[in-house]
Structure 1
């Protein structure tokens, strides 16, 4: 073995794999290919960090989010959301901010009359099936379960011409039944093709946690075209979701433990009304008293103590001065994994001014827009496509310009706008943007979740009626934008800095 290794090295020398270089007047033979040794502190395993990194692994996304791991995370996150007031409030606030009162459709085809018809009919169908409530439920499920599934079904009891319905199921029901034979590219109840696209979903007819669940595990194989799978993909190759509050689960437990510990300490201190003590030495001149003997004291009475004895009231040192600060810091850390600012998570903006509130909300609102875009792509666009396919089958229902599946129906979704902290400043800033042509009415109305064409038509009707009644229209009065906005914003920015 050594002779073979020596021969390889000698052949490399002769072949020019090493070259000569001159340094400091001397000829040194150095290897042509030098090995670079890079060192990272985080890659070193020491006695100090060995325990901390002991659970790190190299599992794939599918293996790391195995069935048992996801089940444990779901159960624990559901428990916290059900029993922790902060966890419940945070999840409800997030669902309300993302979905709001529900999305509104705007069709963008060349036929304006057809657009208005489809918008009105789709809105009526969405109200009939409770689409806004179901979307909020799906967002809540993603926080606590990590994912949500919706089945496109037919419901004859829907009060609309299109009988399409969206039936929500929990993540526990999409699983691999024990009765299913092993198949290739089949993971957690989902069958994939060679390109990684889902083909079918196996859905248990009964929830595994239901009392009516039987060991037979009856299931239905549903085609992927009829299933909406809503989750956040954090790693390449991830096929199932984990709860959004997974990193905060230990923090929620610590928050509850600390609160209960402070309360228990305060109650323990309050249970003792007072204590008798003496400065006299043992066997001294103080009167004898039985140790640990309780004494009932009457309220608002002046009492005499045994000779040589004094009474002192117990001092309650709970809650400590760091109690509020600890809750604030841990709640801020909890909300960070949801891109939610502290004042929104806590429902308390007492420590904020105008500028700091706006600055914290910018990141939060950007996250909301990202989530709304994903919800529109994964759920709403597929719902609209399925609704149009069902509507086309109804004779004489849709306008002729839309009665073909080959057409590309351009559209967009409007969501509820976010109310400004100071409406007067925002209105003035909006007027300045429109005056210097840095925005459009479509953009400004879209920020409020409204359709600019519908609003302008309504405004035109109002102005026309006001003129007929001899009233002055407010939009005809020219007012100059106030410069106080800039001054106030400058003061708020300076205070925030």
Structure 2
């Protein structure tokens, strides 16, 4: 109460009470509605814990459930596939300048398992990241005489290898969820199992190893400051996905029950039955229905047919839930379901614009800085150790996967207008289509030289088919 309130309360207590009540009501009205307590917010538990406190106890269970959904639920499997394909496609290409040939040779040799190239490793890393919440990649340095163009290989590991332990070390470092930090807050090591804890054939009693942080690439989406571990992309929509699956199962059972044609006979005679006589030993009649059958019943008997009621809201409810699942997984409804019945060019393009912005973030803010750039740095360091000095001073150029046009005519015309107005460069246009500009320029140069040797004018062949081009004068036989 201020001075005026105290004076009013002393002179007129009733008026003072009204002033205090009005002030409390005004303060209550000005407060955030989400901060109020009452019937609407009863049971809403909101602890102020850190990201690691929230993620740590739930990570393993959520991760295992996400994998189970991907194995057994079509929508979950589709969401992970869409995210993986959109982030890496057939591989994020890297322009390495004068070291391009060395890089291209190493791309085919980099898998420690000897099965994939770097493009396949990218897809594996992205899929594990989205499905399990994070991916570990161990840098495996090899001997110079192992026959590799660069003595380095990559080993992709699931996050199960990382031990979920929180403790202090003897030198004062702290371990949070298996990641060791020094006194300056820098990652210095990862504490991991030597083998996968869920691998068949191991009894669980295995060694714990400490691997320097310089040898491990940890790929995950960092949503909060000081967050150490990542959560699966399906974590938000996981319960809704499972509930929808249960609802579909229940609806299927109901449909099966509806398909059963049931007849109920009410009679006062426990011996009499409806239907034709049977050949049973006790001469009891066998109840059955036949086309055109006419049967007489007594006045005390009544026949009632089951009349199941159809559920008309099934489709609309399922569609609504799938929209929510798609939003939670970070994909569009059309991508999740393949349902284009309610889509047109504007809606498809509008949804793709927002989706592409999310994919750009995943590529340029997580995947490239956490995986691609560290791999390139390790490649350069390993190349220098064996005398490959061409890698010094190279700035890599990344080309992300091309995005297919929804309406090629309209979108190509838009690109041409932007190019003509100087808003974008030809190289940027080529990169947006998923190609390396340097390779495109070199290919155009080779094709132009070949056409000149054959006496084919590029202007004359514009708009012609391949057959018409080959029929030009001086064309190769």
Scaled by the length of structure 1, the TM-score of the pair is 0.77
Query: 8 Å contact 2:173–2:182 — kept in the other structure?
Result: no
SS at the partner of 1:148? strand
Equivalent residue runs for 1:345-384 within 5 Å: 345-373=336-364, 374-384=366-376
Of the three residues 429, 434, 442, the one matched with 2:419 is: 434
Give the secondary-structure state (helix, strand or coil) at the position aligned to 2:138: strand
TM-superposed CA distance for 1:207, in Å, is 2.0
1:388 lines up with 2:343 in the alignment: no
Inter-CA distance 389–355: structure 2 relative to 1 (3 Å threshold):
same
Match of 2:197 among 208, 215, 220: 208
Q: 2:51 aligns with which of 42, 50, 61?
A: 61
Question: 2:137 touches 2:218 (CA, 8 Å); kept in 1?
Answer: yes
Secondary structure (helix, strand or coil) at the match of 1:246 reads: coil
Q: Does 1:258 align with 2:259?
A: no
Q: Please name the residue that 1:144 is paired with.
A: 131
1:199 to partner: Cα distance: 0.3
Equivalent in 335, 357, 361 of residue 344 of structure 1: 335
CA-to-aligned-CA distance 1:420-458 (integer Å, 9 cap, x gap): 012222222222222232221111001011122321221
Structure 1 stretch 99-108 or stretch 157-166: which is displaced more? 157-166
Equivalent of 1:423 in 366, 389, 408: 408
1:348 alignment partner, SS class = coil
Q: Which moved more, 1:161-170 or 1:181-190?
A: 181-190
Unpaired runs of at least 5, structure 2 = 9-22, 276-284, 464-477
Change in CA separation of 1:305 and 1:160 when aligned onto 2, cut-off 3 Å: farther
State the Cα deviation string for residues 103-124 of structure 1 (Å, max 9, x = none). Answer: 111135xxxxx24434433444
Q: Could you say if the C-alpha distance between residues 153 and 347 of structure 1 is closer, same or farther in structure 2, counting changes exceeding 3 Å?
A: same
Residue 101 (structure 2) pairs with residue 117 (structure 1): yes
Q: Match for 2:158 among 121, 146, 170?
A: 170
Q: Is the 8 A contact 2:193 2:206 kept in 1?
A: yes
Deviation at 1:288, TM superposition (A): 4.9
Structure 2 contact 166–176 (Cα < 8 Å) conserved: no
Take 1:321 and 1:467, find their aligned partners in 2: how far apart are those partners? 68
Alpha-carbon distance in 2 for matches of 1:88, 1:176:
27
Query: Retained in 1: the 8 A contact 2:136–2:158?
Result: yes
2:451 paired with 1:466: yes
CA-to-aligned-CA distance 1:353-399 (integer Å, 9 cap, x gap): 1111000000101111111112111111111111111112224xx3x
CA deviation after TM superposition for structure 1 residue 176, in Å = 5.1
Distance 1:456 1:167 in 2: 35
Q: C-alpha distance in 2, partners of 1:106/1:213? A: 43
Q: CA offset at residue 277 of structure 1?
A: 5.4
| Alignment partner of 1:323 is 2:317 | no
The answer to whether structure 1 residue 228 and structure 2 residue 248 are counterparts is: no
In the TM superposition, what whole-angstrom CA distance separates every residue of 1:20-58 from its partner, at most 9, and x where no partner exists? 9xx9xxxxxxxxxx999552221122134212x0x3212
Pairwise CA distance, 1:160: 3.8
* 1:50-86 per-position Cα deviation (integer Å, ceiling 9, x unaligned): 12x0x321211111112x3111111111111111111
* Cα pair 2:90 2:119 within 8 Å, conserved: yes
Which secondary structure state, in structure 2, belongs to the residue aligned with residue 74 of structure 1? helix
Cα distance between partner residues in 2 of 1:314 and 1:283: 20
Pair 290,268 (structure 1): closer, same or farther in 2 beyond 3 Å: same
Q: With structure 2 as the length reference, what TM-score do the two structures score?
A: 0.80
State yes or no: 1:83 paired with 2:68. Answer: no
Alpha-carbon spacing, 1:265–1:164, altered in 2? closer, same or farther (3 Å): same
Distance 2:61 2:229 in 1: 14
CA deviations on 1:143-179 (whole Å, 9 max, x unpaired) are 2321111110136798742231111222121115799
Equivalenced residue count is 429
Aligned mates of 2:196, 2:93 — CA distance in 1: 33
Instruction: Tell me if structure 1 keeps the 8 A contact 2:75–2:337.
Output: yes
Tell me how large the CA RMSD over aligned residues is.
3.5
Which secondary structure state, in structure 2, belongs to the residue aligned with residue 105 of structure 1?
strand
The 3-state SS of whatever aligns with 1:387 is helix
In 2, are the aligned partners of 1:91 and 1:143 still within 8 Å (CA)?
A: yes
Q: CA 1:246/1:139 → structure 2, altered by over 3 Å: closer, same or farther? A: same
Secondary structure of 1:79's match? Answer: helix
Contact map agreement 1:198 1:224 (CA 8 A) in 2: yes
